[in-house]
């Protein structure tokens, strides 16, 4: 109870003030930057980007945050530094003239130096102090302070003086970055970390499977929450970008808006309206089943609606894709020209997985597309293991969903393993999964497509035949006959066969009909002749009976006449 | 060029030594350095040197120009090679080596 109360009280205290570094992503990991008014240690092996990172801290501070900075270089000369960052588009000379930055190169030449007794580093203090005061600096970088140890041999003095230096920097109220070369078993060769206790950032440059990746980790950050993972970072023409890609939360916005796939028949299978906006779609299939074509159709559809799309190609060059898609009636070139479609082709082995992710992240952030295509993700496996690829894709999907960007992956499944659980294990991550399969039957190979899953919508459970013609893609209902599923020419033949049968049946019906009517006619004729016969017999019979009647009448009459005559005589 | 000292009668050097001593005010190290240097100069370079003592506190911009880190520092400008002698100059042996007055 009291503890909770205490915690509540603590929240009211001001949190550690921070100085934004201006380096993309680093401020997000550190929750706002490095500790304000305190020294931070940046350490790492040679060539891992310490100098660049610290220099960017100074430059960004001067340009973006209006905080002048002093860069004291113990390694490189000032003109070398200026040249190094000129490629990033920064003009150090101009910044120096404007009194926003002060570069100072500390030159220590062992051969010129003779140590003759007690000394201290007061000269460095005076120099630094003068540099800070001359431009009103708020930021200070001491690039590889440890070089002092190679120039001066009295370690005891140096250590005492370094301790004093860090205190002095704190008193001065400047935010400082001290860089240090990584030592064996220690963060820095001279154990600088014991003097700098507030924030330590470790840079790393690792080569795994011949592919190098730069990574950054915050070893410690007193008084602040920070990301603890190793984050990949990229040095490119815009400086350093760190990528805090793993979002820990699953609180993404969702949309019930629909986005069309570009194939009307497929949309029809998907509740008649297509995919959800911001969802992830996986198209998997064996080689040559038309995955790229589906992806290109999707890109085409997106662009034709006036939306932007990025196509990340890991297998084919953009021109190759454009040419190939031309053959099925998709003109992607027009959208490239209009600036709606952007191809981003790179060999998977160009850099490590993380770097791919960073590069994609940057491109997406810059271009702001509504849809993204990755073709194919399977190729990424060449630069990482399945689990690595999966974790990378998780992060990519995470990021894309946050940005409400629809993504379509294509994945190659091998002929030998027709398993539903390959696909780099992303099948459980994606929202919709289309499977394109070979159906080999009757001496030919056809494509069948079905929807494995499609979250949140009613979708067809039917296998459709996927037809690619020079007019485009279409889905045709497969023939389900007594012999099973028929596709391709077998389906055509079956249809033909059925049509023939129908004609024959019709003909047969007709003949039977005619026969019946003929029979009826014969029967009717027979009936009428019988009737005539009967009438004639009847007439005959009648005639006999009339004759008999007549005879009887005549006989009776004669008898009566005789009787009468006898009576007269009598 | 530095004018030749008329009283100079050295064997190998034609010109006088030019020395600059950078100190920080009146700190113990600085005071010791000054007194040590004066003693060495008087002993080994009598009247054959020009010494300038500079208080870096007073002229902080000089620190960058002269590549000053550790103080006190004695800079031997002439004769070449340029040498930087750090410390309070209490190790006479090393000072003499640094000034080129003694071989190893």
Per-residue pLDDT tens digits for A237-274 = 778 888 765 554 556 677 888 888 888 888 888 888 88
The CATH code of the domain at A12-242 is 3.40.50.300
Is there a contact between A119 and B88 if contact means CB atoms under 8 Å apart? yes
Query: Which residues on A lie below 8 Å from B95 (Cβ)?
Result: 114, 116
Q: How do residues B87-104 score in pLDDT, each as one tens digit?
A: 899 888 888 888 888 776
Please indicate whether residue A28 is annotated as part of the active site: no
Question: Per DSSP, what are the bridge partners of residue A241?
Answer: A24, A234
- Name the nearest CA neighbour of A344 among A333, A328, A356: A356
**Does the beta carbon of A116 lie under 8 angstroms from any beta carbon of chain B?**
yes
A36 has pLDDT over 70: yes
Question: A323-354: string of b/e by CB count within 10 Å (b at 16+)?
Answer: eebeebebebeebbeeebbbbbbeebeebbbb
Query: How much is the pLDDT for A328?
Result: 87
With pLDDT > 90 as the criterion, what percentage of chain A qualifies? Answer: 28
**Does the beta carbon of A122 lie under 8 angstroms from any beta carbon of chain B?**
yes
- Name the nearest CA neighbour of A422 among A410, A414, A430, A434: A414
Mean pLDDT of chain A: 84
**Of the listed A315, A316, A388, A402, which one is catalytic?**
A315
For chain B, the domains span 17-98
Query: What span, in angstroms and rounded, lies between the C-alpha atoms of A431 and A270?
Result: 12
Q: How do residues A96-125 score in pLDDT, each as one tens digit?
A: 999 999 999 988 888 888 888 888 899 999
Query: How much is the pLDDT for A570?
Result: 58
Is there a contact between A119 and B70 if contact means CB atoms under 8 Å apart? yes
Query: What span, in angstroms and rounded, lies between the C-alpha atoms of A505 and A279?
Result: 51
- Name the nearest CA neighbour of B73 among B20, B16, B17, B18: B20
Query: Which residues on B lie below 8 Å from A117 (Cβ)?
Result: 29, 32-33, 36, 87-91
Query: How much is the pLDDT for B104?
Result: 64
A187 has pLDDT over 90: no
CA distances from B17 to A166, A445, B1 (A): 38, 96, 11
Is there a contact between A112 and B29 if contact means CB atoms under 8 Å apart? no
The chain A residue lying nearest B24, using CA atoms, is: A122
Judge residue A116's burial from the number of C-beta atoms within 10 Å of its C-beta, 0-12 exposed, 13-18 middle, 19 or more buried. Answer: buried
- Among A106, A114, A152, the residue with its CB nearest the CB of B85 is A114
**Does the beta carbon of B90 lie under 8 angstroms from any beta carbon of chain A?**
yes
**Does the beta carbon of A121 lie under 8 angstroms from any beta carbon of chain B?**
yes
- Residue whose entry in the numeric block shows the structure tokens 């610290």: A54
Name the more confident of A350 and A32. A32
Min Cα–Cα distance to chain B from A38, Å: 22
Contacts with A48 (C-beta within 8 Å, 6 or more apart), sequence order: A203, A204, A205, A214
Looking at domain A258-477, its CATH architecture is 3-Layer(aba) Sandwich (3.40)
Name the more confident of B14 and A195. A195
Query: How much is the pLDDT for A414?
Result: 64
Position B3 confidence tier, pLDDT thresholds 50, 70, 90:
very low
**B17-98 adopts what CATH topology?**
Glutaredoxin (3.40.30)
**Cis? peptide before B79, omega within 30° of 0:** yes
Query: Which residues on A lie below 8 Å from B63 (Cβ)?
Result: 123, 126-127, 130
Q: CB–CB of B99/B17 below 8 Å?
A: yes
Q: CB–CB of B86/A124 below 8 Å?
A: no
Position A211 confidence tier, pLDDT thresholds 50, 70, 90:
confident
- Among B61, B71, B83, the residue with its CB nearest the CB of A119 is B71
The chain B residue lying nearest A123, using CA atoms, is: B69
- HSE value, Cβ hemisphere, 13 Å, CA-based, for A350: 13
Structural tokens at position A529: 């002749």
Q: What is the average pLDDT across A55-61?
A: 92
**Does the beta carbon of A104 lie under 8 angstroms from any beta carbon of chain B?**
yes
A1 has pLDDT over 50: no
- Name the nearest CA neighbour of A247 among A454, A115, A391: A391
Is there a contact between B63 and A151 if contact means CB atoms under 8 Å apart? no
Query: What span, in angstroms and rounded, lies between the C-alpha atoms of A553 and A549?
Result: 6
**Does the beta carbon of B36 lie under 8 angstroms from any beta carbon of chain A?**
yes
Q: How do residues A222-242 score in pLDDT, each as one tens digit?
A: 888 887 888 888 887 778 888
Question: Where, residue-wise, is CATH 3.40.50.300 in chain A?
Answer: 12-242, 258-477
Name the more confident of B79 and A553. A553
Q: How do residues A371-428 score in pLDDT, each as one tens digit?
A: 999 888 887 777 777 777 777 888 788 888 888 899 998 888 765 444 444 455 677 7
Query: What span, in angstroms and rounded, lies between the C-alpha atoms of A289 and A291?
Result: 6
Q: What is the average pLDDT across A448-467?
A: 85
Query: What span, in angstroms and rounded, lies between the C-alpha atoms of A477 and A269?
Result: 11
Query: How much is the pLDDT for B10?
Result: 46
- Among A106, A118, A126, the residue with its CB nearest the CB of B67 is A106
Min Cα–Cα distance to chain A from B90, Å: 5
Is there a contact between A124 and B82 if contact means CB atoms under 8 Å apart? no
Min Cα–Cα distance to chain B from A168, Å: 16
Q: CB–CB of A19/A66 below 8 Å?
A: no
Please indicate whether residue A538 is annotated as part of the active site: no
Query: What span, in angstroms and rounded, lies between the C-alpha atoms of A368 and A328?
Result: 28
Q: How do residues A326-351 score in pLDDT, each as one tens digit?
A: 888 888 899 999 999 999 888 877 77
CA-atom Rg of chain B in angstroms? 14
């Amino acid at each position: 109870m009291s503890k909770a109360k205490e915690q509540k009280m603590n929240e009211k205290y001001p949190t550690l003030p921070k100085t934004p570094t201006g380096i993309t992503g680093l401020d997000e990991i550190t929750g706002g930057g490095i500790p304000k008014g305190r020294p931070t240690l940046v350490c790492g092996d040679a060539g891992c980007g310490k100098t660049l990172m610290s220099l960017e801290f100074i430059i960004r501070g001067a340009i973006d945050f209006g905080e002048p900075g002093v860069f004291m270089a113990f390694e490189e000369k000032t003109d070398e530094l200026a040249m190094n960052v000129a490629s990033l588009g920064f003009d150090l000379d101009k910044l120096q003239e404007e009194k926003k930055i002060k570069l100072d190169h500390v030159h220590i030449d062992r051969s010129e130096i003779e140590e003759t007794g007690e000394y201290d580093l007061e000269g460095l203090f005076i120099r630094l102090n003068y540099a800070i005061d001359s431009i009103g600096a708020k930021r200070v970088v001491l690039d590889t302070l440890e070089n002092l140890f190679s120039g001066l041999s009295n370690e005891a003095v140096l250590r005492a003086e370094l301790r004093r230096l860090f205190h002095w920097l704190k008193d001065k109220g400047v935010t400082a970055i001290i860089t240090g070369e990584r030592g064996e078993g220690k963060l820095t060769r001279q154990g600088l970390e014991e003097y700098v206790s507030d924030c330590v950032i470790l840079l790393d440059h690792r080569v795994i499977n011949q592919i190098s990746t730069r990574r950054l980790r915050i070893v410690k950050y007193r008084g602040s929450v920070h990301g603890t993972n190793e984050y990949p970072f990229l040095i490119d023409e815009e400086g350093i970008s760190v990528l805090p890609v793993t979002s820990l939360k699953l609180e993404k916005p969702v949309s019930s808006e629909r986005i069309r796939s570009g194939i009307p028949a497929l949309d029809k299978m998907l509740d008649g309206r297509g995919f959800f906006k911001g969802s992830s779609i996986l198209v998997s299939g064996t080689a040559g089943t038309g995955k790229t074509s589906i992806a290109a159709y999707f890109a085409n559809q997106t662009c034709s609606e006036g939306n932007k799309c990025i196509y990340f190609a890991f297998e084919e060059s953009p021109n190759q894709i454009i040419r190939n898609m031309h053959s099925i009636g998709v003109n992607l070139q027009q959208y490239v020209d209009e600036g709606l479609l952007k191809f981003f082709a790179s060999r998977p082995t160009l850099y490590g997985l993380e770097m791919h992710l960073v590069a994609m992240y940057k491109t997406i952030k810059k271009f702001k597309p509504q849809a993204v295509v990755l073709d194919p993700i399977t190729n990424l496996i060449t630069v990482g293991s399945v689990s690595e690829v999966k974790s990378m894709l998780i992060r990519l999907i995470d990021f894309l969903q946050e940005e409400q960007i629809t993504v379509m992956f294509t994945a190659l499944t091998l002929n030998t393993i027709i398993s539903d659980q390959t696909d780099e294990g992303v099948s459980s991550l994606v929202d919709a999964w289309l499977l394109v399969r070979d159906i080999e039957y009757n001496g030919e190979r056809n494509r069948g497509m079905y929807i494995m899953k499609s979250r949140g919508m009613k979708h067809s459970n039917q296998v459709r035949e996927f037809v690619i013609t020079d007019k485009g893609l279409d889905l045709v209902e497969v023939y389900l006959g007594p012999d099973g599923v028929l596709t391709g020419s077998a389906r055509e033949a079956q249809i033909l066969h059925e049509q023939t049968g129908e004609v024959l049946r019709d003909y047969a019906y007709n003949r039977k009909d005619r026969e019946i009517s003929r029979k009826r006619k014969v029967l009717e004729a027979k009936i009428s002749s019988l009737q005539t016969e009967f009438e004639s017999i009847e007439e005959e019979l009648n005639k006999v009976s009339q004759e008999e009647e007549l005879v009887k009448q005549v006989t009776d009459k004669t008898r009566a006449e005789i009787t009468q005559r006898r009576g007269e005589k009598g | 060029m530095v004018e030749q000292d008329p009283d100079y009668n050295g064997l190998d050097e034609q010109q006088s030594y030019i020395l600059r001593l950078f100190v920080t005010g009146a700190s113990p190290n600085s005071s010791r350095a000054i007194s040590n240097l004066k003693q060495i100069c008087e002993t080994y370079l009598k009247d054959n040197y020009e010494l300038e003592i500079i208080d870096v506190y007073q002229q902080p911009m000089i620190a960058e120009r002269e590549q000053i880190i550790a103080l006190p520092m004695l800079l031997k400008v002439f004769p070449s090679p340029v040498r930087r002698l750090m410390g309070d100059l209490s190790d006479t042996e090393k000072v003499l080596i640094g000034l080129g007055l003694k071989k190893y």
